Amino acid sequence: MLRHLIKYNFKTYIGNRLNLFWNFLFPFAYMIIFFMALFSLSDGSSGLDTIRLAVVPVHENESAESKTEALKSFFEFDGHEGIWDGEALEHPAGTEKTLLLYTESNETESLKWLENETIDAMILVDDEISFKVKPGSSLTPTVLHEILASFERVNKTQTSITSGYQEGRFTPPSASDTEQLEANRFIGIDKSNRRTAIYSQFIYFFAALAYITYFPLNTGVEVIESIEPAQSDQALRKYVGPVSKTKHFFGALIPRWVAHLLLIVLLFAFTQLLNIDYGTDYPRIILLLFFGTSSAIFTGTALGALLPGKQGPKVALSISIPLLFALASGMMASPLHSLIMEKIPWLHNWNPLGMISNGLYALYSGGNLERYYQQLFGLGIFNLVCFALTMLGVRRSRYESI
């Protein structure tokens, strides 16, 4: 009987054009769009236009000079100091593309360049860093804001560590510790083929993959819709038959679940085709994605089983919940991730999308397996709770408002 149910549930699921579009095609489209928004598909360089900058120390003192030098060093990760070719600031290697081309100058001259659009922005280095952009720049301020925010975080950490050593609060690691740290630094990371930028795009890509992993929430809602007499006419007809609701539940769940486990593997393979770097620990990544997709489906089944009535509000919830979780895990704005961690720790701890994202990050950033398994364990608990809630709802025997 279960085989019969699985066969036809699979047929109905993949035969539904809306399902095909939203559950199977949309995630691929989403990854392509997301990828194109941050990287170029055609070559190995950044897809953003080069930003030409003037770095302007506001005061002539040691502190300003030191910060200016630190900023210039930071820019070297994805930029170069430009050379003047007549009136134009150009890459020293000629045609090579880069995200940032900078030069150091004073405020008056930089303002002049900005006015005649020789440069795109000027960065004023003071105690706080600020910048001015040429009129009409839409993307430049956003990119600069992200880069400078990253720099400030790195700079503050570095300053804090330096002062820690100077004040004797920290002691340097021993030679053997240093050796060990260096050896462990890139475990599981292929340094030679790294295409992702060093900035906060990382968190966007982890959250993006987590989002499509946690996307099929509505599939879970649909599983319940297909077996609850109060939710669909077909279910009412089925329930008159001699097959238990539990059997119908598994008959509806298994094909959808398996389809989405396969889909997430395909989606991950697709991200690798796009050359998005999630590290090389593929078995653990896939395991994490399996747990993540399962959590989406079980969230959906719990929603479907516990909320009475027809589909409208549940469809709205199954769209908005992943978006809310994605927002909380930093997919739309990376600072939100830290903010949620600090202000709403329970949401951070129990956000399944955040757990997937953190698990991916743990694997990526040096194979921190303890942290990875914490996320996996958290997702496991989340799945169990959702499954228990689903069973609680499904096993009810009262069907009012049919």
Partner 1 sequence: MKERIIDVEVIDLVKRYKELVAVDHLSLSIEQGEIFGLLGPNGSGKTTLINCMLALLSYDQGEVKIFAKPMTPKSYDVKQQIGLVPQEISVYEELTVYDNIDYFCGLYVEDKEERRQRVEEVIDFVQLDSFRKFHPRKLSGGLKRRLNLACGIAHRPRLIFLDEPTVAVDPQSRNRILEGIKYLRDQGSTIVYTTHYMEEVEYLCDRLAILDHGKILVSGTNEEIISMSSISESIEIVVYDLPESIIDELRNNPSVDSLTYQSGTLSMAMKQGDSNLLSVLHLLTEEGLEPVSVSGKNPTLNDVFLEITGKELRDNA
State yes or no: residue 1 binds partner 1 (CB under 8 A).
Answer: yes
Q: Report strand pairing: 121-125 vs 100-104.
A: unpaired
State yes or no: residue 243 binds partner 1 (CB under 8 A).
Answer: yes
Element spanning 57, H or E: strand 51-57
Cβ within 8 Å of residue 71, ≥6 positions away: 55, 123, 125, 129, 151
Give the HSE-up count for residue 104: Cα atoms under 13 Å, Cβ half-sphere.
14
User: Shortest gap between Cβ of 12 and partner 1 (angstroms)?
Assistant: 4
Q: Which of 285, 291, 270 is nearest to 188 (CA)?
A: 285
Cα 398 to Cα 400: distance, rounded to the nearest angstrom: 6
State yes or no: residue 233 binds partner 1 (CB under 8 A).
Answer: yes
User: Shortest gap between Cβ of 251 and partner 1 (angstroms)?
Assistant: 10
Using alpha carbons only, what angle is made at residue 71 by residues 67 and 75, rounded to the nearest 5 degrees?
170
Cβ within 8 Å of residue 370, ≥6 positions away: none
State yes or no: residue 130 binds partner 1 (CB under 8 A).
Answer: no
State yes or no: residue 8 binds partner 1 (CB under 8 A).
Answer: yes
Among 240, 312, 342, 370, binds partner 1 (CB under 8 A): 240
Nearest CB to partner 1, comparing residues 67 and 238: 238
Backbone phi, then psi, for 119, in 5-degree steps?
Answer: -120, 165
From residue 179 to residue 208, the character string flagging contacts with partner 1 as x (rule: CB under 8 A) and all else as - is ------------------------------
Nearest CB to partner 1, comparing residues 167 and 233: 233
From residue 134 to residue 163, the character string flagging contacts with partner 1 as x (rule: CB under 8 A) and all else as - is ------------------------------
User: Shortest gap between Cβ of 6 and partner 1 (angstroms)?
Assistant: 11
Among 64, 149, 236, 385, binds partner 1 (CB under 8 A): 236
Count of residues binding partner 1 (CB under 8 A)? Answer: 25
Environment class of 41 (CB within 10 Å of its CB; exposed 0-12, middle 13-18, buried 19+): exposed
State yes or no: residue 237 binds partner 1 (CB under 8 A).
Answer: yes
Would the CA dihedral through 340, 356, 361, 36 be positive or negative? negative
Stretch that binds partner 1, among 162-170, 215-223, 238-246, 348-356 (CB under 8 A): 238-246
* Sheet containing 121-125: order of strands: 79-81, 100-104, 51-57, 121-125, 129-133
User: Shortest gap between Cβ of 316 and partner 1 (angstroms)?
Assistant: 23
Among 72, 238, 337, 348, binds partner 1 (CB under 8 A): 238
User: Shortest gap between Cβ of 402 and partner 1 (angstroms)?
Assistant: 6
Cα 79 to Cα 273: distance, rounded to the nearest angstrom: 26
State yes or no: residue 234 binds partner 1 (CB under 8 A).
Answer: yes
User: Shortest gap between Cβ of 222 and partner 1 (angstroms)?
Assistant: 12
The site for partner 1 (CB under 8 A) is made up of 1, 4, 8, 11-13, 15-16, 229, 233-234, 236-244, 397-400, 402
